[in-house]
Structure 1
Amino acid sequence: MQQKRSRDGSPFADNEIQRKRVRSVSDGTKPMEWEASQPKDQIATDAQIEHVPPKNVCYGALTDVKAEVTYIEISDGLIQPWTSFHSFDLQRQEGAYLLSKPDSTTFGLIDFRTALCLRRLQGFDGVFFRAVISSISFGKIPRKPTKKKIRIDITINIVGPEDTIHRVGDALDNAHAYLQHPVFLESGTKYLNPHYLYDDDIMSDLRHLIGPMPADERLQRMSQVVENVLESLGEAHLPVSHTIDVESIGNCHLIGTKLKLHQIEGIRFILCREDSSLSHTIDSGFLQLVETSLVSRRLGACRGGIIADAMGLGKTLTMLTAIACSRQAAGENLGPTLVVLPSRQILDVWDSEIHRRFQSGTMKSYHFHGDSRVKKKDALLGYDVVLTTYHTLAADSRRGRVLQDVNWLRVVLDEAHWIRNQSTQLFKAAQSLRAETRWCLTGTPIQNSLHDLRSLLKFLRFTPLCDKGLFEKHIIDPLRTDSETSLVNLQYLLRIICLRRSSSLLELPPLQMKTIPIALCAEEQAKYESILADCQNEFDKLVCMDQRSKACVLFATMMKLRRLCNHGTVPLIANFSRSPAVSPGRDVPISDGCQLCTTNGSDTQAMLNELEGCPECGRLLNIDIIPNLGVVSEYNPVVSANLRPPASDFGMLSPPTSEQFFPAGTQYVAEPGYSSKLSAVVSNIKESSCSGSKSLAFTKWRSTLELLGEMFSNVGIKFLRIDGGTNAINRSSIVKRFQEDASISVLIMTIDSCAVGLTLTNADKVHMIEPQWNPAIEEQAIARAYRMGQTKTVTVIRYITEKTVEQNIVALQARKSRLAKFSLSDTADGDLGGALEDMKFVLNPDF
């Protein structure tokens, strides 16, 4: 019999709880056998199995089960929009087991081997079975009568009285069938597994282990090993290319700034990789070790590499100083450097670094961005650094091709993981640039798949290993084995081409984390349930539509609920106009967005138009065209007059405690007319400002900033605001004022446009007003305060609304963190099926 290890969802470390090895029902050596099909008009004689009564427990699930199905008609209300799993009764009929709808009509047949196992449990009083079908498999079932039968994967939960548990376990043992954790179980049902080895043999409820099957253990081990390899790249393993004094030359160009030791080492690494003779020798030696024939297949030296330092280590200053040092070493300007950046806001940050950190005349920069950008390549040749954005680069590659026609001295991709998907226009535009040296700056050179690294190698021209077949053979395939040398090729490759240092070099004070749960008031709860009901009605109309249509409904609902958690029942009236999130003809290639932010659905567009970044893929949504909202004045938030309730005292709320997690059920009395959550935020900021703390507050919604600004004004808290519409001059002015003016307590910001590119180390409190879909953006936001130069203990305060989508988002993040971080497959981003299942998980009110 085929064997596999039971899924390990245990929260205990170091194998405190061991599990039995379990085997699948099918031995995998013969085709699956099927019971004879039942006539369509035959009515089942067994009574329909009732739903699980409270006294029953689930013993576990049989997995690797196949079902042969015909079709199923869907009536309104049968499928909830957020359902990830569907459960059905099983009817026994002449030894066969049939899938049964609530009206007792049957639509599928369980495979023969599983049926044999279930027959072992005949005669056990009160024991019954529930088939569980994932929404993905369920979606494959035809909705209209057809002669064609399809086979789908299902699992079967076995349920019955608690006092029968050991008899059921023994009976399945004799059938060589071993119970796994259910992927789904109705709420309120206890889960006790007779095949689980409990600590001290004391049975306890295992509901915390219920969930989808995680990646196999080998993939999880491989993922952890790859992560360890990345974290081991703390030192440059390359020789110094020349004898110039990098520290002296670098510091002589700087104003009021002295390079840190790790930045000096980074500059030396850059100069070494840009030395054609050294890089050729090093890379050829590596290829010789991998396979001798690879050396002859090189198409030229790879001059450049990857700087993968953690956030806050000063990658921008390191690269700019290296540019200045290389020019001085050459004695002349050999040509311009093109720096490609994620957004206009980050472009302004790099330009500010050049003018603020370096002596006048050290580097001459130009912004290749907007409608006024130059149309001829010769106009760029007199500059040392040309700054542009990914979307401008992509637009220029389709028309104009100014950047494509320049022979660049070097091209630098900031946040280079933006090109990890080789099918996008962003990758193709970057790949086709002509340059002598190429650099990738990214804290995450491998995000989801090891093929993310191959995309960077292809941009860097690291031949021949950037070829998919050779990368698979020499990097991926060895990792699929358990040999001692499986990691050697990957380790050597990263050591010669990648430099990565952790934030431990900064020797920062400890980072404290606090979570404050917020409860919806009765009025907010009623509105929450009303939005879910509207979603159900809309979903019923689309039950036979494609995945994109369903995803649009779920996405719009999720965003409405997330906004409700922040705003409560306050009616928001937009007082500024904005173009659609994705508008044809602009510099944003629609093909480079995800399935959600490129949709034409009006409801989805309405949600996206209130955001600065797509919550699914993180792409900035034309924030350059948002007007400046008067952010410099701390007493002039832009907010509709309809949002202004009477001012009142704000001293009623309790301040934060020193506990890491506030007790569930903590009550915050909402300021009249405002939400429970924002009342808690304002209360906490007011309390901390009295002790001299300065706070940063991040949110996804610009409308949340407007409400917060109004509430701060009501209670006399001075604040400043930055969002995607803040131009570079105002942005710098606001940051300077926040750093210098002790009377200003808080800086409120949109997270999509302000999570990168700002240094705000005078703040010691960071308020995350809502959980983000991608936790990485939260880490980036925290790094605005917790970075080089911080001398105080920084406290991060997260606000989570209980029993809502926010709590489920946190649970989804925790569940994903237990899965393998990296995969070996070459899969493109933007898988709508995965996004759809994630949204269902988040929307499920029964989680």
Structure 2
Amino acid sequence: MADDLINMEEDDESSLSLTETFLVGFVIVNVVGLQHYSGTISGREMVGLLRDPLNPYDPNAIKVLNTRGLQVGYIERASAAVLAPLIDDRIVNVEGIVPNLPRIKNRYKLPCQIHIFARPESFSRVTAAVSRSELTMISEGEASFGLSEAVVVKEKKKKDARSVDEIFKLVGAEEDRKGGKFKKAVAPPRDFIKTELLAHQKEGLGWLVDRERSEELPPFWEERGGVFSNVLTNYQTNLRPEPLMGGIFADEMGLGKTLTLLSLIAVNRLGYSNNGSGKRSKGKRVTTQAESVSAKKRRGNDNISLSVGNEESGVKTTLIVCPPTVFSTWITQLDDHTRSGSFKVYMYYGERTGDVRELQSYDIVLTTYSTLATELDDADSPIKMIEWYRVILDEAHLIKNVGARQSKAVIALKAKRRWAVTGTPIQNGSFDLFSLMAFLKFEPFSIKSYWQRLVQNSLNQGNDRGLARLQVLMATISLRRIKENNLVGLPPKTLEICHVELLVEERDQYDHMEIEAKTVLQDYIRVGSLMHNYSTVLSIILRLRQICDDMALCPSDIKSMLSAFKIGDASNKPELLEKIVSVLQDGDDFDCPICISPPVDMVITCCAHLYCRACILKAIKRPNANCPLCRRPLTQSDLFSAPQEPSVLPDNVSSSGKATSSKVSALMRLLKASRNENSSTKSVVFSQFRKMLILLEEPLKEAGFRFLRLDGSMTAKKRAEVIERFQNQGEDAPSVMLASLKASGAGINLTAASRVYLLEPWWNPAVEEQAMDRVHRIGQTEDVKVVRLIVKNSIEERILELQERKKELAREAFRRKSARDRSQMGAEDIRRLMSL
């Protein structure tokens, strides 16, 4: 849920929150300062508008960018003073279009139509702000409105011979004409890859190789008489655009993407090892995978003299970016599937080299998103100096917030071949895809304003056109196969829901708390502050969810906490703010809005927004510091922390001497029935609450189960040890794994189990899918059964409804069929969750 709420209030570079907005009208302004910037406009073109609040000369500054992302100039000062406050307050979205230019151009300024979009309830505020200035709002119905060059207006004009949708249809038809993605299957060189690829992996490798060798114009570009034009933006250039050598590799989890990517690297490894003679080079020693990893701190013993990375130098180093938990997966796959001495591998993590030449002597460099984020501002970072032959983002959905440091870091990497690899490219909604477009440098969709107007606006307003455009985009740059198509002959996976009836005491407490919560939320709705108090909303809903698991998770003082929630400024109630932090630390589904990762040393602001301590401290160091979400001025004294957590869990987090909760009792019945059916069956129990996993230990001991626990508090080494122990099949091997859903959702293999139990539904269905596919993947030999435990007549049932809407969008993005983008969590969704 936190992701959904946060995605509605993005970083400084973002547009208005992703809810339904409509065209208010347009104003005509001047773009000035043209002589100072390299970006040019050659005709009727869309332009990007980007707020520049840190501009030392004008805090209202709005940059103007062309379709290549180059700055053209600034909106003139007087006009920016009107528009900037509306943009900063998230009242409007703005789109810029430079109309057809006169033959005689002014070298100092050019006209620009700025189209203003807002929610209907904000129309009067917007028009009032414009009327108080020298600008003139031209709205629909006025004679001058026919001059509008906006996409949303052009689409309504029948005389427009080539609408945006027609352009998309032509591109889609061209993709179909090419005969699909599987023109040929490619087998990797056996000198490097010892495992025989499955048919779908060979087909996938063929697609990857074709994409990397493409010499075609990127989609939406045309050549006429030596001039290259982007048919969507009308940008023209005499320089041929670079081909789009890369894309989104979106096969469902468990289909062997890692092996396919290693095969892609091997294809190129063979290419530059042959020295053009068709024979293996004998002049350069390569180490085994194990030797490379163990010798990661060695400095330069096997260095090859190479210039900074480019095609001519022969450097074909692949940079792989992944979470730390996935490191072991890549190393294991290298050991299992490649021949000894095939690849030199360097782990750029922790203590690491600063030598560019050393990094270029390796075939594969493994690093993490967080490592790149720490080097974002480091001019001496060797990662930033190299133009990589290829960059692979594993678990690429981790960059879904384009404004986060780790997203900015990977987008800034230099490479000609870029791959975004994820089984869940859409997690919360279609806007997740924008950051992938930015990484892939897929113009014009890599610029936020163009993505917003060409795709997102239509999706938000429920137009079938938006989804059709999204589908064409995904067809041109992505490959997606699912296990339901029986590509790998996996045993079947069945999903069941086990409905749980609460005990009388549990039901009384749940109903009482839900009534209290509804009262608080209705007050927020009444004064229009629901989304501004998302931390409070989240903490209330979190407690309802915890009661569904076990009342021991919910503190006894929850009623007094609820009654303390009041509308307005909370800065004089630090004890309340500290309590909210304590509540949210119990959950595992909240991300810091700045780094889009689970908060480290969580703090809350006086305006009730939550961040990592380090993230918000850095954010408020700038001049005129304010909250990144609500823009309230902030200082360090406006930040509050939770009381220090005890080193041991409190007494109330224990089942000893207490009645077992309804959900725990239901789980134990299921586990015992599975053991009675087959004593060798292994099970994974997922929960988002670490305290819930600990609560389960006592009942499991009493029932005679051997179990292990895997959660986010463990080091990567400890997690690997736990997974290895669980995969063992001996008589004394553990049969149950208690796993934190988020800590265990990616990069690990749990195929020793064939039963999965999800103790509570997650806001983001993609996280659940990743978790269950740790079990249902290549290597699984047993039928897999997934059981979701859902409390009847509770918030859990309503979460399932929200999940289904998100799943539908993710499915529709890869096929030609209409559906609305209803994936973002908004006020209406919260009303449904709480039955308001």
TM-score by length of 2: 0.56
Moved more, 766-775 or 800-809: 800-809
3-state SS of the aligned residue for 1:771? coil
1:553 aligns with 2:536: yes
Residues 508 and 790, structure 1, Cα contact 8 Å, conserved in 2:
yes
Structure-1 residue corresponding to 2:257: 315
1:621 aligns with 2:556: no
Residues 531 and 826, structure 2, Cα contact 8 Å, conserved in 1:
no
Residues 746 and 770, structure 2, Cα contact 8 Å, conserved in 1:
yes
Per the TM alignment, residue 299 of structure 1 is displaced from its structure 2 partner at its CA by: 3.4
CA gap 1:821/1:796 in 2 versus in 1, 3 angstroms: closer
Structure-1 residue corresponding to 2:215: 280
**Structure 2 Cα separation of the partners of residues 769 and 340 of structure 1:** 31
Mapping 1:495-644, distance limit 5 Å: 497-503=477-483, 504=485, 505-532=487-514, 535=517, 546-547=529-530, 550-569=533-552, 601-614=577-590, 619-621=596-598, 643=653
CA gap 1:389/1:572 in 2 versus in 1, 3 angstroms: farther
Per the TM alignment, residue 712 of structure 1 is displaced from its structure 2 partner at its CA by: 0.6
**Structure 2 Cα separation of the partners of residues 773 and 233 of structure 1:** 39
Residues 623 and 724, structure 1, Cα contact 8 Å, conserved in 2:
no
Residue by residue, what CA displacement relative to the aligned partner does 1:510-551 show, whole Å, maximum 9, x if unpaired? Answer: 322221111222222333245446646766997758445532
**Structure 1 Cα separation of the partners of residues 174 and 759 of structure 2:** 32
CA gap 1:644/1:406 in 2 versus in 1, 3 angstroms: same
Residue by residue, what CA displacement relative to the aligned partner does 1:701-759 show, whole Å, maximum 9, x if unpaired? Answer: 11111111221112111112211233343333333332322542211211101122222
Residues 399 and 436, structure 2, Cα contact 8 Å, conserved in 1:
yes
Letter of the aligned partner of 1:605 in structure 2?
A: V
Letter of the aligned partner of 2:586 in structure 1?
A: E
1:267 aligns with 2:255: no
Per the TM alignment, residue 264 of structure 1 is displaced from its structure 2 partner at its CA by: 2.0
3-state SS of the aligned residue for 2:787? strand
Residues 809 and 842, structure 1, Cα contact 8 Å, conserved in 2:
yes
Structure-1 residue corresponding to 2:271: 329
Per the TM alignment, residue 474 of structure 1 is displaced from its structure 2 partner at its CA by: 8.5
3-state SS of the aligned residue for 1:412? strand
Structure-2 residue corresponding to 1:734: 722
Residues 558 and 839, structure 1, Cα contact 8 Å, conserved in 2:
no
Per the TM alignment, residue 464 of structure 1 is displaced from its structure 2 partner at its CA by: 5.8
Structure 2: runs of 5+ lacking an equivalent: 1-118, 126-164, 231-236, 276-313, 557-575, 603-611, 613-647
Cα-Cα RMSD: 5.0
CA gap 1:624/1:811 in 2 versus in 1, 3 angstroms: same
Aligned residue among 357, 367, 392 for 1:388: 367
Per the TM alignment, residue 321 of structure 1 is displaced from its structure 2 partner at its CA by: 2.4
Per the TM alignment, residue 766 of structure 1 is displaced from its structure 2 partner at its CA by: 1.1
Per the TM alignment, residue 448 of structure 1 is displaced from its structure 2 partner at its CA by: 6.6
Residue by residue, what CA displacement relative to the aligned partner does 1:140-165 show, whole Å, maximum 9, x if unpaired? Answer: 999xxxxxxxxxxxxxxxxxxxxxxx
Residues 697 and 746, structure 1, Cα contact 8 Å, conserved in 2:
yes
**Structure 1 Cα separation of the partners of residues 272 and 479 of structure 2:** 24
Per the TM alignment, residue 247 of structure 1 is displaced from its structure 2 partner at its CA by: 2.8
3-state SS of the aligned residue for 1:258? coil
1:762 aligns with 2:752: yes
**Structure 2 Cα separation of the partners of residues 812 and 523 of structure 1:** 28
Structure-2 residue corresponding to 1:843: 834
Per the TM alignment, residue 785 of structure 1 is displaced from its structure 2 partner at its CA by: 1.8
**Structure 1 Cα separation of the partners of residues 421 and 498 of structure 2:** 35
Structure 1: runs of 5+ lacking an equivalent: 1-135, 143-220, 574-599, 627-637, 648-671
**Structure 1 Cα separation of the partners of residues 550 and 462 of structure 2:** 52
CA gap 1:269/1:565 in 2 versus in 1, 3 angstroms: same
3-state SS of the aligned residue for 1:512? strand
Per the TM alignment, residue 325 of structure 1 is displaced from its structure 2 partner at its CA by: 2.6
Per the TM alignment, residue 454 of structure 1 is displaced from its structure 2 partner at its CA by: 5.5
CA gap 1:447/1:706 in 2 versus in 1, 3 angstroms: closer
**Structure 2 Cα separation of the partners of residues 233 and 639 of structure 1:** 62
Structure-1 residue corresponding to 2:790: 800
Residue by residue, what CA displacement relative to the aligned partner does 1:304-331 show, whole Å, maximum 9, x if unpaired? Answer: 2221212211112211221123112211
Structure-2 residue corresponding to 1:749: 739
3-state SS of the aligned residue for 1:507? coil
3-state SS of the aligned residue for 1:513? strand
Per the TM alignment, residue 782 of structure 1 is displaced from its structure 2 partner at its CA by: 1.7
**Structure 2 Cα separation of the partners of residues 619 and 464 of structure 1:** 25
CA gap 1:773/1:303 in 2 versus in 1, 3 angstroms: same
CA gap 1:423/1:732 in 2 versus in 1, 3 angstroms: closer
Residues 762 and 785, structure 1, Cα contact 8 Å, conserved in 2:
yes
Letter of the aligned partner of 1:518 in structure 2?
A: V
**Structure 1 Cα separation of the partners of residues 177 and 370 of structure 2:** 31
Letter of the aligned partner of 1:265 in structure 2?
A: E
Residues 205 and 263, structure 2, Cα contact 8 Å, conserved in 1:
yes
Structure-2 residue corresponding to 1:397: 376
**Structure 1 Cα separation of the partners of residues 834 and 754 of structure 2:** 34
Moved more, 320-329 or 813-822: 813-822
CA gap 1:369/1:558 in 2 versus in 1, 3 angstroms: farther
1:711 aligns with 2:699: yes
CA gap 1:487/1:770 in 2 versus in 1, 3 angstroms: closer
**Structure 1 Cα separation of the partners of residues 662 and 336 of structure 2:** 42
Aligned residue among 328, 331, 338 for 1:351: 331
Letter of the aligned partner of 1:522 in structure 2?
A: V
Residues 372 and 410, structure 2, Cα contact 8 Å, conserved in 1:
yes
Residue by residue, what CA displacement relative to the aligned partner does 1:336-365 show, whole Å, maximum 9, x if unpaired? Answer: 322222x32123332333344433433333
Letter of the aligned partner of 2:545 in structure 1?
A: R
1:299 aligns with 2:241: yes
Residue by residue, what CA displacement relative to the aligned partner does 1:67-112 show, whole Å, maximum 9, x if unpaired? Answer: xxxxxxxxxxxxxxxxxxxxxxxxxxxxxxxxxxxxxxxxxxxxxx
Residues 546 and 553, structure 2, Cα contact 8 Å, conserved in 1:
no
1:698 aligns with 2:698: no
Residues 186 and 202, structure 2, Cα contact 8 Å, conserved in 1:
yes
Residues 236 and 495, structure 1, Cα contact 8 Å, conserved in 2:
no
Per the TM alignment, residue 335 of structure 1 is displaced from its structure 2 partner at its CA by: 4.1
Residues 421 and 828, structure 1, Cα contact 8 Å, conserved in 2:
no
3-state SS of the aligned residue for 2:389? strand
Per the TM alignment, residue 619 of structure 1 is displaced from its structure 2 partner at its CA by: 4.4
3-state SS of the aligned residue for 1:752? coil
3-state SS of the aligned residue for 2:833? helix
Residues 757 and 788, structure 2, Cα contact 8 Å, conserved in 1:
yes
3-state SS of the aligned residue for 1:293? strand
Per the TM alignment, residue 265 of structure 1 is displaced from its structure 2 partner at its CA by: 2.3
Mapping 1:406-417, distance limit 5 Å: 406-417=386-397
CA gap 1:694/1:623 in 2 versus in 1, 3 angstroms: farther
Residues 555 and 604, structure 1, Cα contact 8 Å, conserved in 2:
no
Residue by residue, what CA displacement relative to the aligned partner does 1:222-280 show, whole Å, maximum 9, x if unpaired? Answer: 9xx99x9999999864777xxxx95362x54346x4321222222232233223xxx12
Per the TM alignment, residue 677 of structure 1 is displaced from its structure 2 partner at its CA by: 0.4
Residues 462 and 821, structure 2, Cα contact 8 Å, conserved in 1:
no
Per the TM alignment, residue 806 of structure 1 is displaced from its structure 2 partner at its CA by: 1.2
Residues 303 and 438, structure 1, Cα contact 8 Å, conserved in 2:
yes
Mapping 1:39-438, distance limit 5 Å: 237=181, 247=187, 249=189, 251-254=190-193, 257-275=195-213, 279-281=214-216, 283=218, 287=222, 293-294=229-230, 296=238, 298-331=240-273, 334-341=315-322, 343-370=323-350, 372-375=351-354, 377-399=356-378, 402=381, 403-438=383-418
Per the TM alignment, residue 816 of structure 1 is displaced from its structure 2 partner at its CA by: 6.0
**Structure 2 Cα separation of the partners of residues 481 and 539 of structure 1:** 26
Letter of the aligned partner of 2:582 in structure 1?
A: A
Residues 307 and 442, structure 1, Cα contact 8 Å, conserved in 2:
yes
**Structure 2 Cα separation of the partners of residues 363 and 752 of structure 1:** 32
Moved more, 558-567 or 486-495: 486-495
**Structure 2 Cα separation of the partners of residues 532 and 489 of structure 1:** 41
Residue by residue, what CA displacement relative to the aligned partner does 1:158-191 show, whole Å, maximum 9, x if unpaired? Answer: xxxxxxxxxxxxxxxxxxxxxxxxxxxxxxxxxx
Residues 592 and 598, structure 2, Cα contact 8 Å, conserved in 1:
no
Per the TM alignment, residue 678 of structure 1 is displaced from its structure 2 partner at its CA by: 0.9
CA gap 1:416/1:298 in 2 versus in 1, 3 angstroms: farther
